[in-house]
Amino acid sequence: MNNRSERSRRTLYRSRKGKILGVCKGLSEYFGVSLKWTRIIAVLTLIFTGFWPAVAIYLAAAYFMSPEPIVPLESDLEEEFYNSYTASRAMALGRLKYQFDRLDRRIQRMESVVTGKEYNWEQRLNS
């Protein structure tokens, strides 16, 4: 099994290619079960528990399961960011803003050193 398929099976996602909200397909991919059997179990649950309890459970699962990423995740860091983004977009955007602010401050410090009066290009090149 390659690294990408191992990573995609570790986290439970709703499939973007499923029939109704992608819950059954996401569950079948996560547990490694045939999609046909997952759907049969869902229909039997619908029949034997009554209509509304099964529908409520299905909709709750669709609400709490994160959607499958559009682009395959390459690293644990990307997976962690994607999961934090789907959990709280404001928190993920705050993290991005913090990272960009840190990079901007570093670039400003480098620019101030390079463009400062005490920086002598000839002395650096001759030594």
**Residue 118 in 3-state DSSP?**
coil
User: How, if at all, do strands 13-14 and 66-67 pair?
Assistant: parallel
67 beta partners? 14
Can you give the pLDDT of all 127 residues of the chain as single tens digits? 444 444 444 678 788 787 888 888 888 888 888 989 989 988 898 888 888 888 888 889 888 887 877 777 778 777 777 777 777 778 778 888 998 999 999 999 888 877 766 666 666 776 7
Q: Do 47 and 40 form a contact (C-beta atoms < 8 A)?
A: no
Tokens coding 111: 């620019």
Prediction pTM value = 0.53
| List of residues 6+ apart from 74 with CB closer than 8 A | 4
